[in-house]
Chain A
Amino acid sequence: MSDSLDPIVAAWADRIRAAAADRIALHVRGGGSKDFYGRSVRGERFDTTDYRGIVAYEPTELVVTVRAGTPLAELEAELAAKGQMLAFEPPHFGSGATVGGAVAAGLSGPRRAAAGALRDFVLGVKLLDGRGEVLRFGGQVMKNVAGYDVSRLMAGSLGTLGVLLEVSLKVLPRPVAEATLRFDLGEAEAIGRLNAWGGRPLPISASAWADGALTVRLSGAEAAVQAALADLGGERVGADEAAAFWLGVREQTLPWFGAGVGGGALWRLSMPSAAAPLKLGGERFMEWGGAQRWLRSTEPAGRIRERAAQLGGHATLFRGGDRSGAVFHPLPAPLLAIHRRLKDAFDPADIFNPGRLHQDF
């Protein structure tokens, strides 16, 4: 395996083996843009940003293979130059965001409900496990069922299973046409409307509701966008304003997300799209056709979790609040047991980001 001879990878492997032998926790970190996310981490800083660069990119194959420390912005610029994009619109949350960090965090942006999540676009990974071994799973092709889908398992694992070295991602052409519409609607009506639209073949690529206004983005072929504009009504938002708005949704830089508005921690509730309004105290912002609901609230965690679960979803303490508690929704016992064993399978000495995902591992 020629890449294991790469001096950076070789040095990392040595460091991991030494850390495993001495049980030294490592805080695996790219640009640090998602330091706020997950439970608070302990451990020696393990910086991945030196291992960067696009390894292979062939637009006609719809695949890019990139080293994990590559800045996300650099990758996106390269894809845009070829008329392509990461369809899951990953949030950066800071200028230093790396591709590896995006995959490890597993977060997707406004296009998620329409195009799929980050995990849906992961085709392959190369990683260093907790034994310091280089492992490759998946590959560069669209369809691959050889062995368990370990590549997708890495998405959202928050660096607790290994140090990502390379990832292969499926990319898609950028839509030819785009338009944004705004509607005055209450929360319950917006949920109803979004789900009804979801049942029709409309080119809706993003939605955001807050404070009585529903904003919807259409993307696709010129004819499809034009037809939907005529069909849906609403008020057209200018192209520049729309672009700034969707960027603000993705990066959470809209005034709604500003600290202090409403007070309290920022919760992310992942819900069945048609779930009723939350009826929890606090400010609400809804995306993904109703499936992602942000809540800025001072309500107790237990109450928020209970309400989310009651409606068939789960709640994450996204920003702020107590980062040493259960940031993510608790797992039922049989799943927790599987999680522990998986963690043990990849990182037997428990050195990678211990505690970031769960207090026990």
Chain B
Amino acid sequence: MPETQVQSDEPLAAEHEADFAAIDKARLIEALARVLPVGALMYDPEDLRPYECDGLTAYRQVPLAVALPHDEEQVVAVLRACHEQGVPVVARGAGTGLSGGALPHDRGVLLSLARFNRILHLDPHSRTAVVQPGVRNLAISEAAAPHGLYYAPDPSSQIACTIGGNVAENAGGVHCLKYGLTVHNLLRVRGVTIEGEIVEIGSHALDSPGYDLLALMTGSEGMLAVVTEVTVKLTPKPVLAQCVLAAFDDVIKAGDAVAAIIAAGIIPAGLEMMDQPATAAVEEFVHAGYPLGAKAILLCESDGTPEEVAEEIARVRAVLEASGATEIRVSGSEAERLKFWAGRKAAFPAAGRISPDYFCMDGTIPRKRLGEMLEAIQAMEGKYGLRCINVFHAGDGNLHPLILFDANRPGETERAEAFGGEILELSVALGGTVTGEHGVGIEKIKQMCSQFASAEIRQFFRVKAAFDPPGLLNPGKAIPTLNRCAEYGRMRVSAGHVPYPDIPRF
């Protein structure tokens, strides 16, 4: 048994957090100033503030410098300079990420792709668009609309988030049950490695020779390469979309109705669920006319030709009735359909309105365990003394419990973190995952230790090293070091669910 061989090829990075203390800021700035035009480099503390966090505002950190390159050549130059000096680089799109993926490194450069905001080419005939990474998700659909096309993945943040960020997180949306996630709607990514090499991954054909690096890049949280160009697939717009809103007097019944729809052989264009507190919170915000007495509501969308939609809606209605829905409404107009969705899409801002702070969880579980999860969350509300409102991408079992807290109240942040951690651990225990679409970032890095054994974690570090040998792209994110996991394991054993203030958070 070649134990020694197994030991000998261990990548060092897997064991301990890397140490970047020796980086010389003045030398770095000097090198960056040489390759970036005036206005594309910032290092005064007040200029760095706007970049100190992403959508996970509980974690903040200013970088040594922010680089705002205009073109790929400058990206190459910045990466080469950082590579030469061993400086960490964190790419940033719009900063809407919810897991701290774009949280700066205190000894690193924050590389903003904000100026890469052009749609380079849109070909309605082959139904593709070549875009720069800083282009907003919705801007692609807007540009494609005159051709009867759109870009299918539609995260609720689509007005703001960028396609580069979508690629890095493998973002999903309410329609991905039928139309797929980012990974299913990409053809090609062009990127730059930390060594400054340009890589073309994928192509305008449907596949490419060699390993599926496009799959590896998608969801890699800016840790393998910096994306500088993306080709996406465009989808023909359905002639008609209609949405069914169903009310239930019991969340378990609503969960069962979701399974029953799938069991009937229906793949709706969207299938979402909100519990009563979530419905109340969004209703106050958007006035969609939701049934406030219901314990849970389902939104089920059908799209296609008018005949097809009518056929599917009739089938959905029958299933919902058989599943005990107390009320069923079908959108009668596009305006009404959008109203049905308005609340669901505004769930996060609505949470922000009723509570000073919230954490959005992102576990995914097998659909059939939905009821169990909801009951457990209810019990946790009591245990941690915090409220939680629930919205789900029910069709794919992706949960977004929103834990409400007030960071100004001593101890609440820690309790909210522990609450979230317990939900994630339960997601793993129920056969699911800690993150369905928001990424691990820094937020769920500890729970990765529950989902993966050390052998897989080592393997993740090796995969990273295949793209980024010195480990400079977004270090400390997404994949925990074994040291961190060991520490986490000890804490869980000795104290149950306590906050973990002694783990450094850069």
A residues with a Cβ closer than 8 A to B are: 1, 17, 20-21, 58-63, 83, 106, 112-113, 116-117, 119-120, 129, 131, 133-137, 139-150, 152-153, 155-157, 161, 172-174, 176, 195-196, 198-202, 220-224, 226-227, 270-274, 288, 291-292, 312-314, 316, 328-332, 334-335, 338-339, 341-342, 344-346, 348-349, 357-358
Of the stretches B29-37, B300-308, B409-417, B497-505, the one at the interface is: B300-308
Q: How far is the CA of A220 from the CA of B220 in the complex (A)?
A: 34
A58-B368, A60-B368, A63-B366 known; 20 other A-B pairs, CB under 8 Å? Answer: A21-B5, A60-B263, A62-B262, A136-B456, A145-B438, A147-B440, A147-B460, A147-B478, A152-B183, A152-B215, A157-B212, A172-B267, A173-B265, A195-B126, A199-B127, A199-B148, A273-B206, A312-B203, A314-B205, A338-B199
List residues of chain A with CB within 8 A of the CB of B260: 60
Q: How far is the CA of A61 from the CA of B267 in the complex (A)?
A: 12
List residues of chain A with CB within 8 A of the CB of B172: 143
Contact B467 A338 (CB under 8 A): yes
List residues of chain B with CB within 8 A of the CB of A173: 265-267
Nearest CB of chain B from residue A276's CB, rounded to whole Å: 12
| Closest chain A residue, CB of each to CB of B221 | A145
List residues of chain B with CB within 8 A of the CB of A195: 125-127
- Our pick among A144, A332, A339 for the contact of B200 (Cβ within 8 Å) is A332
Contact A146 B9 (CB under 8 A): no
B376 within 8 A of A: no
Contact A141 B125 (CB under 8 A): no
B453 within 8 A of A: yes
- Our pick among A113, A129, A139, A342 for the contact of B206 (Cβ within 8 Å) is A113
Q: How large is the interface on B (under 10, 10 to 19, 20 to 34, 35 or more residues)?
A: 35 or more
Interface residues of B in 100-152 (CB under 8 A from A): 123-128, 147-149
Contact A224 B307 (CB under 8 A): yes
List residues of chain B with CB within 8 A of the CB of A358: 210
List residues of chain A with CB within 8 A of the CB of B393: 143
Interface residues of B in 199-239 (CB under 8 A from A): 199-201, 203-213, 215-216, 218-220, 224, 236-239
Contact A334 B396 (CB under 8 A): no
Q: How far is the CA of A346 from the CA of B463 in the complex (A)?
A: 9
Contact A274-B125, Cβ < 8 Å, known A142-B396, A345-B459? yes
Contact A270-B207, Cβ < 8 Å, known A135-B459, A143-B436? yes
Q: How far is the CA of A226 from the CA of B184 in the complex (A)?
A: 28
B193 within 8 A of A: yes
List residues of chain A with CB within 8 A of the CB of B432: 139, 141, 144
Contact A201-B463, Cβ < 8 Å, known A60-B368, A133-B455, A134-B455? no
Nearest CB of chain A from residue B139's CB, rounded to whole Å: 20
- Our pick among A135, A145, A328 for the contact of B456 (Cβ within 8 Å) is A135
| Closest chain B residue, CB of each to CB of A225 | B308
Can you sample 23 A-B contacts with CB below 8 Å? A60-B260, A62-B262, A116-B184, A117-B206, A139-B432, A143-B398, A143-B437, A144-B433, A146-B440, A148-B460, A149-B170, A149-B215, A153-B215, A153-B216, A155-B215, A157-B212, A199-B147, A200-B148, A201-B305, A223-B305, A272-B128, A335-B201, A349-B5
Nearest CB of chain B from residue A63's CB, rounded to whole Å: 8
Q: How far is the CA of A267 from the CA of B190 in the complex (A)?
A: 27
Contact B206 A288 (CB under 8 A): yes
| Closest chain A residue, CB of each to CB of B479 | A147
Interface residues of B in 397-446 (CB under 8 A from A): 397-398, 431-440, 444
Contact B456 A116 (CB under 8 A): no
Contact A141 B127 (CB under 8 A): no
List residues of chain B with CB within 8 A of the CB of A314: 203, 205, 208-209
Encoded as 1 (CB less than 8 Å from any A CB) or 0, chain B from 299 to 319 comes to 000001101101110000000
| Closest chain B residue, CB of each to CB of A340 | B466
List residues of chain A with CB within 8 A of the CB of B305: 201, 223-224, 227
- Our pick among B201, B218, B462 for the contact of A345 (Cβ within 8 Å) is B462
B451 within 8 A of A: yes
Nearest CB of chain A from residue B424's CB, rounded to whole Å: 10
Encoded as 1 (CB less than 8 Å from any A CB) or 0, chain B from 241 to 283 comes to 0000000000000000001101101110000000000000000
Nearest CB of chain A from residue B377's CB, rounded to whole Å: 18
List residues of chain A with CB within 8 A of the CB of B455: 133-135
| Closest chain A residue, CB of each to CB of B193 | A334
| Closest chain A residue, CB of each to CB of B459 | A135
B332 within 8 A of A: no
Interface residues of B in 458-478 (CB under 8 A from A): 459-460, 462-467, 469, 478
Q: Kindly name the residue among A17, A62, A288, A349 whose own CB sees the greatest number of chain B CB atoms within 10 A.
A: A62
- Our pick among B201, B210, B307 for the contact of A328 (Cβ within 8 Å) is B210
| Closest chain B residue, CB of each to CB of A198 | B127
- Our pick among B125, B181, B206, B239 for the contact of A201 (Cβ within 8 Å) is B239
- Our pick among A20, A58, A141, A222 for the contact of B436 (Cβ within 8 Å) is A141
List residues of chain B with CB within 8 A of the CB of A271: 205
Q: How far is the CA of A119 from the CA of B126 in the complex (A)?
A: 22
Contact B212 A155 (CB under 8 A): yes
